[in-house]
Structure 1
């Protein structure tokens, strides 16, 4: 069976008069961040055992030990996201283009002064310091799907929520989604004590989600060279989250009970801001002149996060319903502040060099997403924190990421290519279709103290989106083929 990621528009609802949210999905989103890098290593992918590139500032800091001169580079990027959606037999294509700064870094070389006559390749040779900015993940995307549903309506979902959580209409708290639906005449209440949908099937459903934002790090790094054999390094990263999501669900159909056509709009918005800190330590060892072995330990990132979620439901009728044709609800806003600890990451890599002609490299990462942990902030909701920690243990697992890459030099021009897979983090879904695959290729040009690198990267994954899920597990599903096309350009100089 071909399982895919299941996401729900109604993952965050006001179900009991209090904000209820499955923040575990956000925790996974904020934990799946690759190392930031220059265009060179965006093309190659595998960098842990290579070093000698400004990508080391945000990845394996031991790679700074290979620098023999100071260096600066800047990497802008262009990315285009497309989502090819199949929903209720119809196809829609969503797209979003963005530009930004992917990477900027500088390293200062400091060669150890040795006494006259001493062997220059013995003992500590250099201590290098780096400072860099890395955009580790971008969230810009647009997903749109639409189709005619001949089986059910979102009002079926609203009626199940009301029946499961409340009694008579007088018990529906003001501001809850269930009360909004009842006040909009989308659901009714019968003598048996059940809520029921007033809407008919064969309604037209349209869902649009627009996301913006990114995650980034500022890194302070140190690397040292011991006898051109052992390179060690460490760094501190100041991480930040800026995530915005806006979703509009529109349903156009017929209200059987009220005898009128209707158009309902359910709007959601989420704004998340966070800041955190992490650390990395690494080493690269040269057992022979042609082989480099690297390892990196990245600590968890400890975040403090502020989240704002808001929703509202409005309905218009073609005929007067109880004296009006339009029913508007105030937007309900829920603020939540919490602390988040992401998983640690262990990385290992190898590079095999063909003299100065080029190299092959391979990396592997181990990440255990079941160790993600929520902690309450001041006056936090402990019950909500505990619920999401249980969700993490129930749904997430450890996984392995791997990358392979190569670089080949023809005079002043470098040819590069790479392939990588980010493993499936879901415990109960084992299909490889949940992996995220990355293909990349690029060119580099060197002339004296200057260089230019250009890389194209293709990132693809499949996912399923459910606008709503009924108690029996059914509900309409949009099957998405997601593709991100990235272009990176690095310009740099040695000094």
Structure 2
């Protein structure tokens, strides 16, 4: 079994549903990963634009690319994205999908010419680039003949006197709702030993996950051009996270083999919002007109105030009673520091014909850290260090020019961030697009296909775990950029 996934679910259930805090190992990864979108031209070329420059997307990757602007610019990029999720659980196959309209990018660049030699141009840019998209629908279903999620409730309640659990101020999101709806009860003759109405395996288990939101980076970029040889830049990034997830889990006695039990379910709702700040600095050097090399360093993003709001609703349908309980709404504020990033770029320009561009990115996800003024995250941060590793991300793109028109293609590959599984979580995309330059304005179109495979566990503890759900994510994206120069 994937040890990383075990850690995720243990921390997820123990920290999210069994306490007043909801920060988990998988939250750390979700808010740390970046799959740059930006302009349609950038997306069509696989995001490999750092050394090419003169594209607003570079403000979020290598801000020195902003130094290649020679005119001012206004750009906007709407997009339509969809994601198909295929899930297999205990030989049962299900599908779900989601489509959504987004704004991937908008920006303004002011270019000022300083002189004909030395520092020739200075640029200032401001706007937004989308860094991550959280919009997914998942549905999984299958029969489990080995265990129930209720087993974990009973296991966690063992050793706690029922009078403690019977107080709604204690364990308000899990054990009290389970107690209130008779999903756990004391073994006759005991006050701190528990059982469930599902004493043996054999339920149909299903789960749906509905997620929405994004990380959008609002930015201010400053750059300069020295003698058309050296380009430097810096970006102050202000990423904003908005993530919303509704998870519905249900177990049913479809075979009618469990006495007194029909079904039970739990719905979990979570909303996370918050601002962060980072600094990106970069350079591009052009030794000859057809070669550019560059690099950039991104400081860790510091989210100084992430805010969680969550609640749960438990429902039980037993032969003698049907009941439900909705918890109070929990709220918590905390901080998050994501990994620094190191990027290397190279580009080769064939005058009036086309170009090739390459980009490498290094990120160590094990350095992600949670913190708060009133809670220690030592266990969660230790889980992050043991669960994740460094990743090596590769992006390549090309463009072929036909007069005022351009044909583009790209590919990128993100290695797995998980420490104990080389393939789980890998991400690959292929992309293509076209563009047309009208002179003072241009229009660009991009199409992107993405593929990711991951295992997922609906619940887990050190001794209780179902088989993995094998998820395959197939995404596609259509983007259109409208740009004007002045």
TM-score calculated relative to the size of structure 1: 0.90
Deviation at 1:421, TM superposition (A): 1.3
C-alpha separation in 1, matches of 2:60 and 2:71: 19
Counterparts of 1:402-441 in structure 2, within 5 Å, are: 402-429=394-421, 431-441=422-432
Contact conserved, 1:442 with 1:453, CA < 8 A, in 2? yes
1:170 to 163, 167, 172: 163
1:138 maps to which residue? 133
Deviation at 1:95, TM superposition (A): 0.7
Contact conserved, 2:396 with 2:410, CA < 8 A, in 1? yes
Deviation at 1:148, TM superposition (A): 2.2
2:483 to 458, 473, 492: 492
Tell me, yes or no, if structure 1 residue 375 matches structure 2 residue 376: no
1:347 maps to which residue? 343
Alpha carbons of 1:351 and 1:432: their partners in 2 closer, same or farther (altered >3 Å)?
same
Q: Deviations over 1:9-66 (max 9, x none)?
A: 9824579974254423212111111344210011112111111212223332211221
Alpha carbons of 1:81 and 1:4: their partners in 2 closer, same or farther (altered >3 Å)?
farther
Counterparts of 1:29-108 in structure 2, within 5 Å, are: 29-44=30-45, 45-108=47-110
Higher mean C-alpha deviation, range 389-398 or range 80-89: 389-398
Higher mean C-alpha deviation, range 469-478 or range 60-69: 469-478
C-alpha separation in 2, matches of 1:293 and 1:355: 17
C-alpha separation in 2, matches of 1:201 and 1:375: 39
Contact conserved, 1:201 with 1:253, CA < 8 A, in 2? no
Counterparts of 1:313-332 in structure 2, within 5 Å, are: 313-317=314-318, 319-320=319-320, 325-332=321-328
Q: Deviations over 1:185-222 (max 9, x none)?
A: 33343357642332143322221110011111111111
2:148 to 128, 144, 153: 153
Identify unmatched segments of 5+ residues in structure 1. Answer: 114-119
1:198 maps to which residue? 197
Alpha carbons of 1:79 and 1:257: their partners in 2 closer, same or farther (altered >3 Å)?
closer
Contact conserved, 2:13 with 2:459, CA < 8 A, in 1? no
Counterparts of 1:188-227 in structure 2, within 5 Å, are: 188-190=185-187, 191=189, 194-199=193-198, 200-227=200-227
Counterparts of 1:462-473 in structure 2, within 5 Å, are: 462-473=453-464
TM-score calculated relative to the size of structure 2: 0.92
Counterparts of 1:249-264 in structure 2, within 5 Å, are: 249-253=249-253, 259-264=259-264
C-alpha separation in 1, matches of 2:349 and 2:35: 24
Counterparts of 1:100-139 in structure 2, within 5 Å, are: 100-113=102-115, 120=116, 122-139=117-134
Deviation at 1:420, TM superposition (A): 0.8
Contact conserved, 2:144 with 2:466, CA < 8 A, in 1? no
Give the secondary structure class of the aligned counterpart of 2:57.
helix
Identify unmatched segments of 5+ residues in structure 2. Answer: none
Please tell me the root mean square deviation across aligned C-alpha atoms, in Å.
Answer: 2.4
Give the secondary structure class of the aligned counterpart of 2:339.
coil
Deviation at 1:257, TM superposition (A): 11
Give the secondary structure class of the aligned counterpart of 2:380.
helix
Tell me, yes or no, if structure 1 residue 305 matches structure 2 residue 306: yes
Tell me, yes or no, if structure 1 residue 394 matches structure 2 residue 423: no
C-alpha separation in 2, matches of 1:373 and 1:258: 44
Contact conserved, 2:344 with 2:359, CA < 8 A, in 1? yes
Contact conserved, 2:4 with 2:419, CA < 8 A, in 1? no
Contact conserved, 2:15 with 2:23, CA < 8 A, in 1? no
1:117 maps to which residue? none
Deviation at 1:94, TM superposition (A): 0.9
Contact conserved, 2:86 with 2:473, CA < 8 A, in 1? yes
Contact conserved, 1:85 with 1:92, CA < 8 A, in 2? yes
C-alpha separation in 2, matches of 1:407 and 1:167: 65
Count of residue pairs the alignment pairs up:
476
C-alpha separation in 2, matches of 1:463 and 1:92: 15
C-alpha separation in 1, matches of 2:224 and 2:86: 48
Contact conserved, 1:36 with 1:59, CA < 8 A, in 2? no
2:473 maps to which residue? 482
Higher mean C-alpha deviation, range 31-40 or range 91-100: 31-40
1:333 to 329, 354, 379: 329
Deviation at 1:173, TM superposition (A): 5.0
Contact conserved, 1:4 with 1:464, CA < 8 A, in 2? no
Give the secondary structure class of the aligned counterpart of 1:19.
coil
Give the secondary structure class of the aligned counterpart of 2:288.
coil
1:357 to 325, 345, 353: 353
Higher mean C-alpha deviation, range 340-349 or range 18-27: 18-27
Q: Deviations over 1:403-462 (max 9, x none)?
A: 111111111211111111122222222x23421111111111112212111111112111
C-alpha separation in 2, matches of 1:216 and 1:51: 21
C-alpha separation in 2, matches of 1:106 and 1:185: 59
Contact conserved, 2:452 with 2:474, CA < 8 A, in 1? yes
C-alpha separation in 2, matches of 1:71 and 1:438: 29
